[in-house]
Amino acid sequence: MQRGDLVFWKGHVTLMISEETLIHANAHRISVTYEALSKTISRIALAGEGDIILTKRLFLLRSSGEGAGKVERLSKLRGIKKRALL
């Protein structure tokens, strides 16, 4: 997985901020937290919520070079018009 990927479980969605770390609203801690993907997978599985059911790569944030700071769409979403995310 990479930065910008959405990761879906039954009833839960997270956003990858790097290859190993995600950010999400965490009911376990009752806050928005950064957490290792591997730790999240284990915790959700132990809670009986199952495995990841879907990952979606929506955009690529450019951090350097030409076009830095702009968002490039990599996939289309049903029912949403194509538009810049920033």
Tens of pLDDT along 2-41? 888 999 988 889 999 999 999 998 777 788 989 999 999 9
Domain membership flag for residue 81: no
Structural domain containing residue 66: 5-73
Say if 46 falls within a structural domain: yes
Q: 67 lies in a domain?
A: yes
Is residue 54 situated within a structural domain? yes
Question: Of 44, 9, 8, 4, which Cα lies nearest the Cα of 21?
Answer: 4
Statement: the pTM of the whole predicted model exceeds 0.75? no
Is residue 78 domain-resident?
no
Q: How many domains, in total, are found in the chain?
A: 1
In a domain, 19, yes or no: yes
In a domain, 31, yes or no: yes
